[in-house]
């Protein structure tokens, strides 16, 4: 089915990257619509506008590499190859959800595809990423772990504990700050004493100051690719600040009225999909070919939503499984 | 049989499990130099730096790294030096480690152990290094909770915890580290969720855990002199809880006194008392009594500490009150016996 092959983990060319970003854009826009129709149970945090980071980073990872994200994690799971129908079923509380209905939007996980989870406590997954990288180091597997987080995360203790540990232990981990300039509803500049939330903290851990245009998928591929290669070669961790902008609010319930219209307009002009289109057009791809990708991925997502909305809800008995590794939940005899 | 101290038993079982399974790795503050309580003594020398990792003072990083490594298939054993420090990494313990298996629909397992020094025991460690905090963990589904009372239990229960496929918090009691007793030779492994009947008696059930098992036994000795036979249960693990053992003992004795070191206002004893009220009501001939740590932060001066810590004398007083229930001037509630305020 089209929506599976769109995100296949083959070696990408520019069109493939564009296609993946289009799919994520249409997926998240569809989630937004479904949310406003009351069909998403619980909150949803959309990655609209941040597609180039998810797609660019995933494109430099190998099967077996690990990645982790935040509650804004749909795109990161899909970019690693998580089945879109199972992701959407999880969001909609339908049977066949990727977490069996127990995680929802904020905890999308696909370990089979190397995506070790979306974490809803800000900063919590940075230490966990260290652990995955630590295991790879102990076992000399050559696996790399990439950990995505937002600009607001750079103010929580777990960020500093984890980056410090990774640097001290020289772990094969790449920390990627998706700086969208707002911690929830507050401009990040209001709550940091430096100019850049991640890059300006790197020196404290003996790491290079790395900034990348997070809306340029080619630049993301190059910079995160270098960091991943460095980690794989035993040269330790990196902290990359990928600068981007969310096209919508913090969550689907947030109208983002606190952002100046001029700022929003400026960043809309830097939309990663428009940038990718322009680059591909300049390299000779026809507008018709680009439009075809856009409309194909849009209709793939529409088909997907129709299919998943037709599914039943999970059996209630499923609430009583998966606490313990033997499948049970009992705490006493 | 070998005579080992409780701390030597911890180090010995860590060595046994590391030799048996190369997925077992240690991390924590000062563990490479043997640890402040000497529970990892000699392990770095024997197993090398790839198996024993010193960390910064970063409990969130320690617990999180253990979780990530466990998800990747290792069996990390992380030392949280003092159990009070769980407060600094409670997100990792309560929100991540306990829940990731469930939240992902069973996509991962987290076979890790967090272990460290717990409890008061009258050592003067005070409010931030002397708490008993098993009860913090007991209200979080997804965590197993182990509290050994003897060197043999420290060995056997930690072995089981390391081999378990789920996250286990092992609360070693710092006042027991120097206690020396026989530990069975060989691969001594005690199942989780199985209480131990330490002493048989038909008049009253005393339920203890960790250091309060000794408190119960001392009280039982004194009670025997008064012609009262106490049945003493060592729970060993709070999750899984051997509820059947508690109920069976209460069925025999008809009376229950729970002895816990944590503050009583929401200690683990509330769960045991509720268990008896809900499932053994018809067996009870007197209300349940609880002897617990005082509902104050732990003071340091020995006279103040003794005022709020559990003691055999307080257990004896509670038992005597339970036995007098129904008689004139019985002095109820029994929990007030032997302590001026609670």
B152 and B38, same domain (yes or no) = yes
* Separation in Å, CA of A138 to nearest CA in chain B: 6
B245 and B328, same domain (yes or no) = yes
Residue A135, chain B, CB below 8 Å: the answer is yes
Quick: pLDDT tens for B164-203: 999 999 999 999 999 999 999 999 999 999 999 999 999 9
In sequence order, which ranges of B72-210 are alpha helices (DSSP H)? 90, 100-103, 134-138, 151-163
Q: Which of B50, B64, B104 sits opposite A138 (nearest CB)?
A: B50
Residue A321, chain B, CB below 8 Å: the answer is yes
Instruction: Give yes or no for residue A1 having a pLDDT over 50.
Output: no
B28: chain A residues, CB-CB within 8 Å? none
Residue B22, chain A, CB below 8 Å: the answer is no
Residues facing B231 on adjacent strands = B205
Best mutation target, A98, A118, A135, A315, to test chain B (most B CBs within 10 A): A135
B18 and B118, same domain (yes or no) = yes
Please identify which residue in the block is written with the tokens 């067996």. Answer: B283
Comparing A263 with A4, the larger pLDDT belongs to A263
Residue B240 in any domain: the answer is yes
* Separation in Å, CA of B135 to nearest CA in chain A: 14
Domain map of chain A by residue range?
Answer: 2-308
B131 and B46, same domain (yes or no) = yes
User: Which residue range is the domain that position B222 belongs to?
Assistant: 196-336
The total number of structural domains that make up chain B: 2
Please report the pLDDT score of residue B326 as a whole number.
83
Question: B140: which DSSP letter?
Answer: S
B164 and B221, same domain (yes or no) = no
Please report the pLDDT score of residue B328 as a whole number.
73
Residue A323, chain B, CB below 8 Å: the answer is yes
Instruction: Give yes or no for residue B152 having a pLDDT over 50.
Output: yes
3-class DSSP assignment, residue A122: coil
Average pLDDT, chain B: 96
Please report the pLDDT score of residue B337 as a whole number.
54
What is the reported pTM? 0.96
**Contact assessment for residue B267 and residue B292, using Cβ atoms and an 8 Å cutoff:** yes
Active site residue B129: yes
Helix (H) or strand (E) holding B322: helix B312-323
Quick: pLDDT tens for A243-256: 999 999 999 899 99
Residue A214, chain B, CB below 8 Å: the answer is no
Residue B71, chain A, CB below 8 Å: the answer is yes
User: Exactly one of B129, B173, B251, B330 is catalytic; which is it?
Assistant: B129
Assign B327 a pLDDT band (cuts: 50, 70, 90): confident
Please report the pLDDT score of residue B340 as a whole number.
47
- Exposure class string for A245-270: b at 16+ Cβ within 10 A, else e: bbbbbbbbebeeeebeeeeeeebeeb
Assign A6 a pLDDT band (cuts: 50, 70, 90): very low
Cβ within 8 Å, pair A117-B165: no
Please report the pLDDT score of residue B334 as a whole number.
62
Q: Could you tell me the CATH number of the domain that includes residue B226?
A: 3.40.50.920
Quick: pLDDT tens for A93-120: 999 999 999 999 999 999 999 999 999 9
Residue B189 in any domain: the answer is no
Enter the CATH code of domain A2-308: 3.40.50.970
Q: What is the full DSSP assignment across B6-56?
A: HHHHHHHHHHHHHHH-TTEEEEETTGGGT-TTSTTTTHHHHH-TTTEEE--
Cβ within 8 Å, pair B68-A130: yes
B73 and B129, same domain (yes or no) = yes
B34 and B104, same domain (yes or no) = yes
Residue B12 in any domain: the answer is yes
Cβ within 8 Å, pair B107-A132: no
Instruction: Give yes or no for residue B338 having a pLDDT over 80.
Output: no
Assign B110 a pLDDT band (cuts: 50, 70, 90): very high
Residue B190 in any domain: the answer is no
Instruction: Give yes or no for residue A207 having a pLDDT over 90.
Output: yes
* Nearest residue on chain A to B235, alpha-carbon basis: A332
Interface of B with A in 248-267 (CB under 8 A): none
Other CB atoms within a 10 A radius of the CB of residue B325 amount to 17
Residue B90 in any domain: the answer is yes
* Nearest residue on chain A to B96, alpha-carbon basis: A124
Angle, nearest 10°, between helix axes B211-225 and B312-323?
50
Residue A129, chain B, CB below 8 Å: the answer is yes
Please report the pLDDT score of residue A12 as a whole number.
61
Tally helices (H) and strands (E) across chain A: 11, 8
B118 and B245, same domain (yes or no) = no
Interface of A with B in 10-69 (CB under 8 A): 66
In the predicted model, what is the mean pLDDT of residues B29-35?
97
Q: Which of B58, B106, B243 sits opposite A322 (nearest CB)?
A: B106
Last residue of a domain, one of B156, B183, B210: B183
**Contact assessment for residue A31 and residue A106, using Cβ atoms and an 8 Å cutoff:** no
- Token output for A297: 């991925």
B29 and B162, same domain (yes or no) = yes
Residue B342 in any domain: the answer is no
Please report the pLDDT score of residue B1 as a whole number.
76
Instruction: Give yes or no for residue B205 having a pLDDT over 80.
Output: yes
Cβ within 8 Å, pair B106-A131: no
Tell me the C-alpha distance between A270 and A243, whole Å. Answer: 11
In the predicted model, what is the mean pLDDT of residues A164-171?
98
* pLDDT > 70: percent of chain B: 96
B156 and B127, same domain (yes or no) = yes
Cβ within 8 Å, pair B103-A132: no
Q: Could you tell me the CATH number of the domain that includes residue B154?
A: 3.40.50.970
B172 and B231, same domain (yes or no) = no
Alpha-carbon dihedral sign for residues B287, B290, B291, B297: negative
B21 and B50, same domain (yes or no) = yes
Cβ within 8 Å, pair A117-B104: yes
Helix (H) or strand (E) holding B256: strand B256-263
Assign B330 a pLDDT band (cuts: 50, 70, 90): low
- Exposure class string for A105-140: b at 16+ Cβ within 10 A, else e: bbbbbbbebbbbbbbbbbbbbbbbbbbbbbbbbbbe
């Amino acid at each position: 089915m089209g929506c599976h092959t769109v995100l296949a983990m083959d070696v990408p060319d520019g069109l493939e990257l564009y296609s993946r970003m289009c799919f994520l854009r249409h997926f998240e826009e569809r989630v937004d619509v479904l949310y406003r129709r009351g069909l998403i149970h619980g909150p949803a945090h959309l990655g609209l506008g941040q597609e180039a980071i998810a797609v660019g980073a995933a494109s430099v990872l190998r099967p077996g590499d690990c990645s982790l994200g935040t509650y804004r994690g749909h795109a990161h799971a899909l970019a690693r190859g998580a089945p879109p129908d199972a992701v959407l079923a999880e969001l909609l509380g339908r049977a066949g959800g990727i977490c069996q209905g127990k995680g929802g939007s904020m905890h999308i996980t696909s370990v089979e595809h190397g995506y070790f989870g979306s974490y809803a406590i800000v900063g919590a997954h940075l230490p966990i990423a260290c652990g995955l990288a630590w295991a790879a180091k102990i076992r000399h597997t050559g696996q790399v772990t990439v950990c995505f987080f937002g600009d607001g995360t750079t103010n929580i203790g777990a960020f500093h504990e984890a980056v410090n540990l990774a640097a001290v232990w020289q772990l094969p981990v790449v920390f990627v700050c998706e700086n969208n300039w707002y911690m929830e509803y507050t401009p990040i500049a209001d709550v940091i004493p430096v100019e850049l939330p991640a890059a300006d903290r790197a020196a404290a851990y003996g790491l290079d100051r790395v900034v990348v245009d997070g809306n340029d998928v080619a630049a993301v591929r190059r910079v995160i690719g270098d960091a991943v290669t460095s980690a794989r070669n035993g040269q330790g961790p990196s902290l990359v600040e990928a600068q981007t902008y969310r096209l919508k609010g913090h969550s689907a319930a947030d109208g983002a009225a606190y952002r100046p219209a001029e700022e929003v307009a400026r960043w809309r002009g830097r939309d990663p999909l428009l940038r990718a289109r322009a680059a591909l057009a300049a390299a000779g791809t026809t507008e018709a070919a680009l439009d075809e990708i856009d409309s194909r991925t849009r209709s793939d997502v529409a088909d997907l939503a129709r299919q998943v909305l037709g599914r039943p809800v999970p059996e209630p008995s499923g609430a009583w499984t998966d606490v313990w590794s033997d499948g049970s939940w009992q705490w006493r005899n | 049989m070998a005579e080992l101290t409780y701390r030597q038993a911890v180090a010995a079982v860590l060595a046994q499990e590391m030799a048996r399974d190369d997925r077992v790795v240690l991390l924590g503050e000062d563990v490479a130099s043997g640890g402040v309580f000497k529970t990892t003594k000699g392990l770095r020398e024997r197993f090398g730096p790839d198996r024993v990792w010193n960390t910064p003072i970063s409990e969130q990083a320690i617990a999180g790294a253990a979780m990530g490594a466990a998800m990747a298939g290792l069996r990390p054993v992380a030392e949280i030096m003092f159990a009070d420090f769980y407060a600094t990494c409670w997100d990792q313990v309560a929100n991540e480690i306990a829940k990731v298996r469930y939240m992902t629909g069973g996509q991962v397992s987290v076979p890790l152990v967090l272990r460290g020094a717990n409890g008061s025991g009258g050592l003067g460690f005070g409010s931030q290094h002397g708490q008993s905090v098993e009860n913090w963990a007991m209200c979080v589904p997804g965590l197993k909770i182990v509290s050994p009372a003897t060197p043999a239990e420290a060995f056997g229960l930690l072995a089981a915890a390391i081999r378990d496929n789920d996250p286990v918090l092992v609360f070693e009691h710092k006042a027991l580290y120097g206690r020396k007793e026989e530990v069975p030779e060989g691969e001594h492994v005690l199942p989780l969720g199985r209480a131990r009947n330490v002493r048989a008696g038909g008049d009253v059930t005393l339920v203890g855990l960790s250091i309060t098992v000794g408190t119960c036994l001392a009280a039982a000795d004194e009670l025997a002199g008064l012609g009262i036979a106490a049945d003493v249960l060592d729970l060993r693990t709070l999750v899984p809880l051997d509820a059947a053992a508690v109920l069976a003992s209460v069925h025999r004795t008809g009376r229950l006194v729970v002895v816990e070191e944590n503050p009583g206002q929401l200690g683990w004893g509330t769960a045991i008392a509720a268990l008896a009220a809900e499932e053994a009501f018809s067996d009870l001939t007197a209300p349940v009594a609880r002897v617990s740590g005082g509902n104050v932060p732990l003071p340091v001066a020995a006279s103040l500490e003794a005022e709020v810590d559990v003691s055999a004398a307080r257990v004896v007083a509670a038992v005597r009150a339970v036995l007098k229930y129904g008689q004139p001037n019985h002095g109820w509630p029994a929990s007030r016996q032997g302590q001026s305020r609670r």
